[in-house]
Chain A
Amino acid sequence: MDTDIAVVGLSVEVPGATDLDGFWQIVSSGASLTRPFPADRRQKLREYVSYLRATSIEPVPDPDIDYHHGCFLDEVDTFDHTVFGMNPRQATLTDPHHRMVMRAMFLALEDAGYGFDRLRGSRTGVFVGFAVNPGSTYLDYICRVDPNNGQQAITGNIPAMLANRLSHLLDLRGPSLVVDTACSATLVAVHQAKNALLAGDCDMAVVGGARIVFSPVKHPHSNIGIESSDGVTRTFDEAADGTGFGEGSGSVVLKRMAEALADGDRIYAVLKGSAVNHDGNTEGITNPDSDSQADLLDAAWRNARVDPRTLGYLEAHGTATRVGDPIEHEGMKRAFARHTTDRGFCAVGTVKANVGHLFEGSGVLGMIKAIAVLRNRMIPPQANFKNPNPKLDFAAGPLYVSTSLRPWESPDGPRRCGVSAFGLGGTNAHVVLEEYVAPPAPAPAGGGPHLFTLSAATLKSLVRLGESYVRFIDAAGFDGVDIADICHTSQVSRSSHRHRAAFVVRDVADLRRQLVASLADGAAPPPDGPLGDEARRYLAGAPVDWRRLSPGPRRIVRLPGYVFDTVPAWVQFPDTWRDQLSLGTADEEQPVTHDTVFAPAPAPADPVAGARVLALVDPDTDAEELLAATGLADLRVLRLGEPVRPDGAPFDAGSADSYAEIADLVGAAGITHVVHALGFDATPARDGGELDRRTTKNLGSLFHLTRALMAAGAKLELTVLTRRAVCAHDGEPDVVVENGALVGFGKVVGREYPYLGVTHLDVDATAPADAVRAEILSPERGVFLLRDGRRLHEVFVEVPQVDTDGPQVYLKPGGTYLVTGGTGALGLAVARSFAGRQPGVNLVLLSRSGLPPRAQWPDLLAGPGGDARAARIRAVRELADLGAEVRVVAADAGDPAALAGALAGVRAEFGRVDGVVHAAGLPGGSTVMFREPADFDAVVRAKLHAAFHLEELTREDPPDFVVHFSSVASVFPAPGQADYAAANYYLDNVARARAGGPTHVLALDWVAWKEIGMAVDHGTSGDTMFRALPTATALEILDAGLRSGRSRLFAGELHYRGELIHLLRSYDVRLAPEIDAKVEHEMQALELRLSQAAEKIRATVDAVVVELEGRPDGDHTDVERSVAQCLALAFGYPTLDVEADFFDLGGDSIMAASVANTIAVRHGVTYDVADLLADRTVAEIAYHVEDLVAFAADTA
């Protein structure tokens, strides 16, 4: 099989050369391009470097900015975006490397005879060698100017896009990838491309790379260790002390030899073979290895099937370092020594001495130099080479260093050479090239006329391109070239851009004449005849059917390359950064613990007049007696068990139908106030049966009642009346704790449906009836307690310090601790903490699921990661490793029988239960309107019933402590948490009521944990009104709480700086004055920040200059103009058509969000990404925005 690969096109750009001729001029003259960093680029970077130094944590005292010398390009801040279908804004936000690679590959493909039309849909591979290097990147730079740039800049700064953008733009279907092997990257990419061609992955491949040094500031910390002291590269010279930076780009186009010949391609050279290897385990990862390099060369020669004695030139890697050069020389010697003892027959050199080190780009640049050497049949002098490095014994080996330009004779066969590139991390590449001797060109076919086409993306480029052709002709560029081939190449190799010219020509002189004439006087109309018709079609925008125009075999010939119309494409670093820089000050430390207390409240507000009151009562309680005594003027009492409507079914607390009837009654009778007094029980439930009855009668009825009232769209004040259900202070005796759950429920109702105003009124036996009446009729909402004639309300207070005045050791050696929800994330975290604090404890983890049988453990643990069961098994094992005795018991804490069984088992094995952590729980999940009763019940049971039964089951042998895991929802619930808030309020309530008893009962109201738990599972663990709680902090609070005598702590830090802090005031719970003051302060600060940010956006938009097009009369509305400014800000266009589509302008879904936000802020309306993606044009967006503005004005 023919494994030869033809190089059919190339491009190269280094300082001072933009094509192969210019490049050869530098190489053949032995020039060295090292110079100081250009002044213009220094100036543009100055503020940025100052900024970096000013903001560095480790201060840089040096006031001067010192740059490396190197082979630098004059400018890297311009680009011609028009050719590449980009908008100015995109181009500006695209890494210069990325732009250079696109440009290099575009030129190489044109050089190979492939314009966009010919490429489209082809199986062409794109292989780029690139690495993100230490030091500043463009992305980092532009994001420091404005972090908002980051999102839009993604596609222009992700390395993969280097290859992918070209494939996307030209619809190329071959492999498209970026190779990163450090300095060998582009040569490894050539090897990959060759293999892809031979494997049939693609029919053509373009390979290349580019390199700039964004900010070559001298700084000892950023040196790699190979830098030359003065930026000059002196490979193989005695004075060599490292490599100088080089900048530029290079690209080659490869095809299988047979197809290149068949297609009439211009073949620069033949890639005979290549090899890639790695140094393996050398002394250090950056140390090169001569044996590996020798093996590499040998492998490449074998792959190329050439005798190394036939090589006349070697393009070495040659970084001019004290370590690297001798090792490379040794490697080459060893490789040759395996085949020949001849001396001094092969010249060695490296282009790095001329143009510096282009790092990832250096491989392909060395290859292009080698191609130039082959084509010119001259061995160039090695630049910067005066005295050979004495460590390199050239005389004893096959190699010599050329000091002058001399002819390369090769009487016995084609000239051959090799190219090396070695990566810093040990990946080496070598390719073997052979000159291509073209058969003599056939006599020109002549016999025109032929159609010559020319096009460019801008008019300016078109004119310059025309001029460039005239110069090319005058420099004898077309001498001896068949005009038919010139015209054929002009048609196929150059893309059909927007601006076009076409000439029907007989010969080169005719072409020159017509070019000059059209440059001077504008294009003449094409002549009559078939080719004139074709010219007209082309000028009208049709693609050229070159297959029809050039029926015979035609050859690709050299034409002048595209002339780019470059414009600035650079984000300016603002010189005002010092004024804008805000060095953040550390946030004031806020308490992580809070509490609620019942504090004296002022007298209730004045009663509303004309109230019509409906009270629901349980005749087994004193509720009706109390209500009757209030003297409410218009009071109806509905008793459980009596019909709601005449002759209807009796009022059944558990029946939804009863509440539908009540809702009807409320509507029909114009009820304004409902008193839910069903939970007026005088004494707490004594057993599980009574608890079940109570929760159905009281909490269940409140659920059904509010649901029915919501479904009916009722509007009224609802008072939930209970009797000593809320524990007013620690250790209050005889609290009917289970009815406290109604408080939590009531807090949620108004948040879901504001037309039900809920007041919870909890009274003691001494409550005066007229005080109760005043509360029922008061428009105030919230939780109010009447105790000994005093009115109390709920106040949220800070607990800056948890006094650890309780038992300091709460875990006994050998003690037994039960954790409900024990295999959940929080339960396991607690267990781990206990096991760590007191090795040797017995940990009983109770959970509904338990653990899988032990026999399944090995399989589960060996299975794919992420299996929750495996994670639990690992966690349990970890506890055992900490020295704990662990039992996992499968039991539903909400199921009394299962719980009793579990406890009996624990006692049988361990005796006493010394402590309990009740961490079991199910999240709430739906608003009351859409909550299924069974789901409501399950949420309540897991917390409330479980806590009740734990207490019952340990009454005879009370543990040292019980910790109830309660929730923020008990104080600040969200919509959808009615059941959850009810259950958690119960836990808080019971903990307070048990204070001073034999067991230390502690309720902890957790805010969302940051790393683990229910909130993480549901994706709600971000900072809200509260900062999410890190696990370590949470466990510290647990520890402190257990060492204190407290009955309850609210565990969470207020997120004063957050945008949601204002919500804190929307709750009926009162805020302590210190909290309220901070909230007020931060809300004002936030408002200021938001208005400043909006003002900045508006000012930025208003400063955009853009011309609107698309209406013949220029009749554009103000909103169209301001919308155009928003789009121009995003895309950078100086002109915009009112009908231009967002996506055609270069928009994508990523940037749509920020553009929509700009539009919204600029016009003061709500306008989001979905609106933008639907509207898409200036005209449609403006139409929509005008509508929204009018809508907002109507509302105001």
Chain B
Amino acid sequence: MHCLLFPGQGVQRRGMGADLFGRYPQETATADEILGWSIEELCTRDPHRRLRDTRYAQPAVFFVNALLARQLTAERHYHYFAGHSLGEYNALVAAGVLDLAAALRLVDRRAELMSEVTGGGMSAVQGLPVSFVRRALTETGLPRVFLANLNADTQNTIAGDRAELAVAAKAIGALPGARVVPLNVSGPFHTPLMAPAAERFRAALADCVFAAPHTPVVSSVTGDVLDPAQAADLLARQLWTPVEWVRTVTTLRAAGVTEFDEVNGKTLSAFLTRIAER
């Protein structure tokens, strides 16, 4: 079986989707109208250097993901969709749970709320099993650093208060085989520090209608197949709970998925090769 995967924030780069906007003029115009600025200008030229800013990066990645998915889903039937964090919105659109415009409005609001949380950061921790990272975090005794993404067997991210994160990164970096790399995001995403933003986001989610999916989506919040009745709650929780990507992939594989495609780069495909068959 085939599954299409959607990456989240972090894959943005200047020039992404350059040849797509002209091919989807209607969608692009709608996006500009929702966002209030030109998505094409941001993605192709980024004259104000906003692409690394959460506020702009999220709508940009989401929209380019969505256009790329249009092409891929026209070529092949997918049995599953799944997305990493922000990419989960693309999975919902691809599965027919949300329409593109509604999802973009949600993403725009999400980006706004998330970008308002500052003073935090994220770091990738490579080379250690998640249990080692958990133990190391416990040992540091820091109250405001958390495991944020479980991306692959020995690839995780931690996030939290900027100063505490730096201390934790140093301690974890000293473990054998570990490499800690600061990530270019402004907030402590996927940690309890995001809970207030998540609560505010619930208001936007409450206005949304989630249709039944025509293709199952595996949620990166739970690692289980998504129930549309729970969608609003999951998308709010997603802001402050870890991305369970290893579980997501394990579930997909257990369901019989053997082929994974990915839009907008190869980030998630690289994770796949580092998640052992269970």
* Residues of A participating in the B interface, judged by any CB pair closer than 8 Å: 710-715, 751-755, 927, 929-930, 975, 1187-1188, 1191-1192, 1194-1195
> 18 A-B Cβ contacts within 8 A?
A713-B132, A713-B135, A715-B138, A752-B177, A753-B132, A755-B132, A755-B136, A755-B139, A927-B177, A929-B132, A930-B129, A1187-B184, A1188-B182, A1191-B166, A1191-B169, A1194-B167, A1195-B166, A1195-B169
Bound-state CA distance A779–B260 (Å) is 49
Q: Which 3 A-B pairs have the closest CB atoms?
A: A1194-B166, A713-B135, A713-B131
Question: Does the CB pair B170–A1195 fall under 8 Å?
Answer: yes
Bound-state CA distance A305–B52 (Å) is 71
B163 within 8 A of A: yes
B2 within 8 A of A: no
User: Which residues of B178-212 are within 8 A (CB) of A?
Assistant: 182, 184
Known: A754-B176, A1191-B182, A1194-B167. Is A714-B135 also a contact (CB below 8 A)? yes
Q: Which residues of A contact B184 (CB under 8 A)?
A: 1187
Question: Does the CB pair B166–A755 fall under 8 Å?
Answer: no
Majority secondary structure, A binding face: helix
Bound-state CA distance A663–B73 (Å) is 46
Interface code B127-165, partner A: CB below 8 Å = 1, 0 otherwise? 001011011101100000000000001000000001101
Query: Which bucket holds chain B's interface residue count?
Result: 20 to 34
Known: A710-B129, A929-B129. Is A1195-B176 also a contact (CB below 8 A)? no
Q: Which residues of A contact B167 (CB under 8 A)?
A: 1194-1195
State which of A711, A715, A927, A1188 has its C-beta within 8 Å of the C-beta of B139.
Answer: A715
Q: Which residues of B contact A930 (CB under 8 A)?
A: 129, 153, 276
Question: Does the CB pair B134–A713 fall under 8 Å?
Answer: yes
The chain A residue sitting closest to B167, CB to CB, is A1195
- Give the residue among A713, A755, A975, A1192 with the most B Cβ atoms within 10 A: A713
User: How many pairs, one residue from A and one from B, have CB atoms within 8 Å of each other in the complex?
Assistant: 50
The chain B residue sitting closest to A751, CB to CB, is B176
Q: Which residues of B contact A929 (CB under 8 A)?
A: 129, 131-132
Interface code B240-278, partner A: CB below 8 Å = 1, 0 otherwise? 000000000000000000000000000000000000100
Bound-state CA distance A975–B128 (Å) is 12
Q: Which residues of B contact A715 (CB under 8 A)?
A: 135, 138-139
Question: Does the CB pair A1194–B163 fall under 8 Å?
Answer: yes
Question: Does the CB pair B131–A975 fall under 8 Å?
Answer: no
Bound-state CA distance A713–B153 (Å) is 14
Bound-state CA distance A751–B176 (Å) is 7
Bound-state CA distance A1192–B170 (Å) is 9
Q: Which residues of B contact A1195 (CB under 8 A)?
A: 166-167, 169-170
Bound-state CA distance A715–B175 (Å) is 14
- B10 CB, nearest partner CB in chain A, Å: 12
Q: Which residues of A contact B169 (CB under 8 A)?
A: 1191, 1195
Q: Which residues of B contact A1191 (CB under 8 A)?
A: 166, 169, 182
Q: Which residues of B contact A975 (CB under 8 A)?
A: 176-177
The chain B residue sitting closest to A714, CB to CB, is B135
Question: Does the CB pair A711–B131 fall under 8 Å?
Answer: yes
Q: Which residues of A contact B132 (CB under 8 A)?
A: 710, 713, 753, 755, 929
Question: Does the CB pair A1194–B162 fall under 8 Å?
Answer: yes
Bound-state CA distance A237–B139 (Å) is 92
Bound-state CA distance A1192–B167 (Å) is 9
Question: Does the CB pair B176–A752 fall under 8 Å?
Answer: yes
Bound-state CA distance A1192–B180 (Å) is 12
Q: A1194-B166, A1195-B170 are in contact. List 6 more A-B contacts (CB 8 A).
A: A711-B131, A751-B176, A753-B132, A930-B129, A1187-B184, A1194-B162
Bound-state CA distance A714–B134 (Å) is 10
- Give the residue among B176, B177, B276 with the most A Cβ atoms within 10 A: B176
Q: Which residues of A contact B165 (CB under 8 A)?
A: 1194
Bound-state CA distance A1188–B129 (Å) is 25
The chain A residue sitting closest to B153, CB to CB, is A930
Q: Which residues of A contact B177 (CB under 8 A)?
A: 752, 927, 975
Q: Which residues of A contact B162 (CB under 8 A)?
A: 1194
Q: Which residues of A contact B166 (CB under 8 A)?
A: 1191-1192, 1194-1195
Q: Which residues of A contact B175 (CB under 8 A)?
A: 754
Bound-state CA distance A930–B163 (Å) is 33
The chain A residue sitting closest to B176, CB to CB, is A975
- Give the residue among B129, B134, B136 with the most A Cβ atoms within 10 A: B129
Q: Which residues of B contact A1187 (CB under 8 A)?
A: 182, 184
Bound-state CA distance A1125–B151 (Å) is 38
Bound-state CA distance A415–B258 (Å) is 79
- B14 CB, nearest partner CB in chain A, Å: 11
Bound-state CA distance A931–B182 (Å) is 29
- A1181 CB, nearest partner CB in chain B, Å: 13
The chain B residue sitting closest to A1187, CB to CB, is B182
Known: A710-B129, A1188-B182. Is A755-B176 also a contact (CB below 8 A)? no
The chain A residue sitting closest to B129, CB to CB, is A929
Interface code B201-238, partner A: CB below 8 Å = 1, 0 otherwise? 00000000000000000000000000000000000000
Bound-state CA distance A426–B19 (Å) is 59
Bound-state CA distance A755–B132 (Å) is 9
Bound-state CA distance A712–B136 (Å) is 12
Question: Does the CB pair A712–B131 fall under 8 Å?
Answer: yes
The chain B residue sitting closest to A929, CB to CB, is B129
Bound-state CA distance A271–B132 (Å) is 77
- B56 CB, nearest partner CB in chain A, Å: 16
- A974 CB, nearest partner CB in chain B, Å: 9
The chain B residue sitting closest to A754, CB to CB, is B175
Bound-state CA distance A1192–B175 (Å) is 18
User: Which residues of B92-134 are within 8 A (CB) of A?
Assistant: 129, 131-132, 134
Q: Which residues of A contact B163 (CB under 8 A)?
A: 1194
Q: Which residues of B contact A1192 (CB under 8 A)?
A: 166
The chain B residue sitting closest to A756, CB to CB, is B135
Q: Which residues of B contact A755 (CB under 8 A)?
A: 132, 135-136, 139
The chain A residue sitting closest to B49, CB to CB, is A1179
The chain B residue sitting closest to A1193, CB to CB, is B166
Bound-state CA distance A714–B129 (Å) is 13
Q: Which residues of B contact A712 (CB under 8 A)?
A: 131
State which of B131, B153, B170 has its C-beta within 8 Å of the C-beta of A710.
Answer: B131
Bound-state CA distance A715–B141 (Å) is 14
Q: Which residues of A contact B182 (CB under 8 A)?
A: 1187-1188, 1191
The chain B residue sitting closest to A975, CB to CB, is B176
State which of A711, A713, A753, A1194 has its C-beta within 8 Å of the C-beta of B138.
Answer: A713
Bound-state CA distance A868–B134 (Å) is 46
Q: Which residues of B contact A711 (CB under 8 A)?
A: 129, 131
- A775 CB, nearest partner CB in chain B, Å: 24
- A1068 CB, nearest partner CB in chain B, Å: 14
- A392 CB, nearest partner CB in chain B, Å: 72
- B154 CB, nearest partner CB in chain A, Å: 8
Bound-state CA distance A1128–B276 (Å) is 46
The chain A residue sitting closest to B132, CB to CB, is A753
Bound-state CA distance A1188–B169 (Å) is 12
Bound-state CA distance A1194–B162 (Å) is 8
Bound-state CA distance A715–B136 (Å) is 9
Bound-state CA distance A753–B166 (Å) is 21
- A73 CB, nearest partner CB in chain B, Å: 47
- B87 CB, nearest partner CB in chain A, Å: 21
Bound-state CA distance A751–B139 (Å) is 17
Bound-state CA distance A8–B170 (Å) is 68
- B35 CB, nearest partner CB in chain A, Å: 25
Q: Which residues of B contact A710 (CB under 8 A)?
A: 129, 131-132
Bound-state CA distance A975–B165 (Å) is 26
- B51 CB, nearest partner CB in chain A, Å: 12
Bound-state CA distance A711–B131 (Å) is 6
Bound-state CA distance A751–B175 (Å) is 9
Bound-state CA distance A384–B38 (Å) is 78
Q: Which residues of A contact B136 (CB under 8 A)?
A: 755
- B27 CB, nearest partner CB in chain A, Å: 30
Bound-state CA distance A752–B166 (Å) is 23
Bound-state CA distance A713–B175 (Å) is 13
The chain B residue sitting closest to A1184, CB to CB, is B184
Q: Which residues of A contact B131 (CB under 8 A)?
A: 710-713, 929
Bound-state CA distance A753–B165 (Å) is 21
